[in-house]
A and B are shown apart, each in its own frame.
Chain A
Amino acid sequence: MATKASRSAARLMISPAVVLLLGWMLVPLSLTIYFSFLRYNLITPGANPFAGWDNYYWFLTDPSFKAAMANTLLLVGGVLLITVVGGILFALLLDQPMWGQGIIRIMAIAPFFVMPTVSGLVWKNMFMNPVNGIFGHIAQGLGLQPLDFFSQIPLLSIILIVSWQWLPFATLILLTALQSLDQEQLEASEMDGAGSFSRFLFIMLPHMARAITVVILIQTIFLLSIFAEILVTTNGGPGVSTTNLTYLIYVSSLLQFDVGMGSAGGVIAIILANIVAIFLMRMIGKNLDA
């Protein structure tokens, strides 16, 4: 039984972590909100007058904001579609009896451990470069016009690169869920005459539902913040065709030094992420009770 003394000792042991995280959250967050109401540019020093909602107005009515929102949604949605559908199929396949499953799994999850700048540059140069990349060489070998990925289908190219990085994550989590499925349940349904498709639809898929939701939510949190892959491949271009919200805020804050505008964008990004976070937290919180 916990005594009073051990309670206060416990509080003392938690406090460094709590104080640090509280500071890490509150200080920058309140500064971002504060800056978002100022006319504040690092290139023009001097007073930073109160600007009301101006920064929000300019940020939200800027045509590049609309483009960035659309790109963010396409990027997140596209990667989710590919990784979740691909992850389910891949997990189902890996769950089958086979030889060398360990080796195959190790190969399949490797992309997740490749740092974002490396995967961006490797895909951009070694694969998608129309002259020297592998895809270019293959197209030439077949007598086709090589595709210039980053000028013809820039956003789709980034979606493909990011999907390559995240497919292992989805696969690994869905495979873990699949392996916890009760084999007897499957055998029973088989004896009752259920085909493999109905076994998948009525037993495996419902069993994986929770894991699928977790994959979607966690990936969304990370995918909203995709940055390095864009920085090293397209710099957000051509034009703003691969600029997502994160990249747009980066441009206005660290390239145009517009602290006020960047902060307004930051507040909007925080609100968007929080909408996703609420659902995720609810899922994880439920698990904590069990």
Chain B
Amino acid sequence: MARNVTTSRKSINTIAAGALGFLMFFPVLWIVILSFKTEGNAIKAPLEILLNTGWTTESYGAVQARSNYFKHFSNSLIISLGSTFLGMLIAIPAAWSMAFVPAKRTKNVLMWMLSTKMLPPVGVLIPIYLIFRDLGILDTRTGLVIVLMLINLPIIVWMLYTYFREIPGEILEAARMDGASLREEVIHVLVPMAIPGMASTVLLNVILAWNEAFWTLNLTAAKAAPLTAFIASYSSPEGLFYAKLSAASVMAIAPILIMGWFSQKQLVRGLTFGAVK
């Protein structure tokens, strides 16, 4: 920037923005702290917790012992990775052909796909619930993989489409002129250019699937419940559980928080369907 900025102005900005950022982050920081306290200490006054209590990792062990935490963790993992993988498998060819062989109807198809995303889930809750019951896939990971793949498919197609469209067609033509076969063209030219966009699409959709909390809550019980539903089971009051709730929450959000920080830019693009870049 060409404008001169005084050091004092910069310090004020840093302090103001830092304070706000810290406030936004504080709840996350707080459960990290509570997760390393005993249940008795976790409900004390904040200052006392910070200054006068010891640290322990017993809550992490207790969460696993009490409710087989890793079963729910692996459910989340399988459901979010499975639905994203399946979605990519279906979306890549579709986005590919729409980006490179656009037809007159391409725009309409894209807009229609987007419109399916606007359908409020509660509007189709009953039919899906009944169909799943009759097919016997209520409370199964298979059922959730299918539903989450379908609700995220429009986002996957859209994101891939906007990335693929940025690959310049001239490069493909140049490769063809140099005598590359279609197979060589795909493997050596297209794939390397498409990989970054595909990686961000995967990242964002794993995040969305991991945090999805309508279908995962309504279509699962004990067996296939991912972390969203498992954490919800802490909503019944059962005495002192702050430290355990914190430990379970920290483990549930940590992987996504880290992934999310890497995908800030893609987040904007993916969730606004390319309307803001």
**A residues with CB within 8 A of B:** 2, 6-7, 9-11, 13-14, 16-18, 20-21, 24-25, 27-29, 31-32, 35, 90, 93-94, 96-101, 103-127, 131-132, 134, 137-138, 140-141, 164, 167-169, 172-173, 176-177, 180, 183, 187, 190, 210-211, 214, 218, 221, 224-225, 227-228, 231-233, 245-246, 249-250, 253-254, 259, 262-263, 265-267, 269-270, 272-274, 276-277, 280-281, 283-285, 287-289
Contacts and interface: CB of A to CB of B under 8 A. Distances in A.
B81 interface: no
B2 interface: yes
B67 interface: no
Contacts of A108: 20-21, 24-25
A270 B120 contact: yes
A28 B147 CA distance: 12
B145 interface: no
B94 A269 contact: no
B122 A254 contact: no
A107 B276 contact: no
B94 A14 contact: yes
B186 interface: no
A120 B277 CA distance: 31
Contacts of A126: 27, 30-31, 34, 242, 246
B118 A227 contact: no
Interface of B: 1-3, 5, 9-10, 13-14, 16-18, 20-22, 24-25, 27-28, 30-31, 34, 43, 45-46, 90-91, 93-94, 96-98, 100-101, 103, 107, 109-111, 113-131, 150, 153-154, 157, 207, 210-211, 213-214, 217-218, 227-229, 231-232, 234-235, 242, 245-246, 249, 252-253, 256-257, 259-261, 264-265, 267-268, 271-277
A93 B235 contact: no
Contacts, number: 313
A10 B276 CA distance: 28
Contact of B25 (A6, A13, A107, A232): A107
Contacts of B46: 134, 137-138
Contact of A176 (B27, B28, B100, B277): B277
A263 B153 CA distance: 25
Most buried by B among A104, A138, A176: A104
A218 B118 contact: no
B154 A21 contact: yes
Given A118-B253, A227-B122, A141 B45 contact: yes
Nearest to A282: B111
Chain A contact residues: over half helix, strand or loop, or mixed? Answer: helix
A21 B101 contact: no
Contacts of A32: 123-124, 126-127
A283 B275 contact: yes
Nearest to A232: B235
B218 A110 contact: no
Contacts of B249: 118, 121-122
A125 B242 contact: yes
Contact of B260 (A109, A118, A122, A265): A109
Contact of B125 (A183, A221, A228, A262): A262
A17 B231 contact: no
Contacts of A270: 119-120, 123
B8 to A, nearest CB: 12
Given A227-B214, A281-B111, A111 B24 contact: yes
